[in-house]
Structure 1
């Protein structure tokens, strides 16, 4: 296992999302393509992506379950993690059914019909939602992140000049305020002394 990763889930899940997404897109293209070599080629590519996606999803689910039970997290991230898990299970089941359905078409030497393509497009919805919550876990809650970068001294493309420029303005503002404030105190003090003198 890579030392920079708490587990293999981030690796497997990206293949799952990519392969299933490409499979759906290819099925849509094949469905609207005229009969011929192009349509058959695209449909075969869609089937291959779907099949390989199912294989990677086995690793995704196993590593995801391991991560769910081992990665340190708090109560807020646990709720998001559970939502991510539930949507991922729905997406996995949906694409598992699609894979079995596609095998039946393949064994009968038939092209997938409109109902199959519609079901594939619908199955992409829980896949997208699961991916959204997975991203929220990492970028919103820092789950699985071993360390956060120190961004104070990091600059890009001349930002260093901009930061210095801004800092100078801040210093000028503070300096102006301090001088103004001091003048105010100086003006008040003589007035107070005059009152005491009278």
Structure 2
């Protein structure tokens, strides 16, 4: 559908905004009452909401790329695992967005239920990102077709290896 894969573009917004929101919220949660605590908490709420918006694009383009990237059965199971973690993470992020928005509207930004939810979200975003990174760097998904990559590896391993160009050459004796 798209010549350029957009999933890797949007996923960085989701990850960066989520972790920044979690960090900002945790710092604002432990700060003493004051303007900085309130401002940092409001900023964290907005980052959570923007992260959710980015996640909608990330998941959409993830599904498009899931169905368009050539892969074999060896890679299919890790892709399904990454997809399932991503969907669960999106649901938790949606819940965190609702909690944050509810607290913002009620003018009670800091509450323990949002803090616990954000800690769970941090674990889930990290696990999903790890699984996605493993697909790219471990299997070459999205970089080059895995079947082509294995054929290339097979063809290079069958060639004789020459570590030293001057090895037993009759001219060099």
Q: TM-score, structure 2 length as denominator? A: 0.81
1:94 alignment partner in structure 2? 92
Runs of 4+ deviating beyond 6 Å: none
Question: Counterparts of 1:77 and 1:171 in 2: how far apart (Å)?
Answer: 38
Q: Would you say the 8 A contact 1:30–1:43 is kept in 2?
A: yes
Question: Counterparts of 1:48 and 1:10 in 2: how far apart (Å)?
Answer: 23
Matches for 1:84-123 after TM superposition, within 5 Å: 84-123=82-121
Deviation at 1:2, TM superposition (A): 7.4
Larger Rg over CA atoms? 1
Deviation at 1:114, TM superposition (A): 2.0
1:16 alignment partner in structure 2? 14
1:67 alignment partner in structure 2? 65
Matches for 1:158-173 after TM superposition, within 5 Å: 170=164
SS at match of 1:103: helix
Aligned Cα root-mean-square deviation (Å): 2.2
Matches for 1:36-55 after TM superposition, within 5 Å: 36-55=34-53
1:56 alignment partner in structure 2? 54
Question: Counterparts of 1:95 and 1:2 in 2: how far apart (Å)?
Answer: 27
Structure 1 unmatched runs, 5+: 149-166, 179-198
Identify the structure with bigger relative contact order (alpha carbons < 8 Å, sequence gap 6+). Answer: 2
Number of equivalenced pairs = 155
Determine which of 122, 125, 133 is the counterpart of 1:124.
Answer: 122
Deviation at 1:171, TM superposition (A): 6.1
Question: Counterparts of 1:9 and 1:111 in 2: how far apart (Å)?
Answer: 31
Structure 2 unmatched runs, 5+: 150-162
Are 1:25 and 2:23 matched, yes or no? Answer: yes
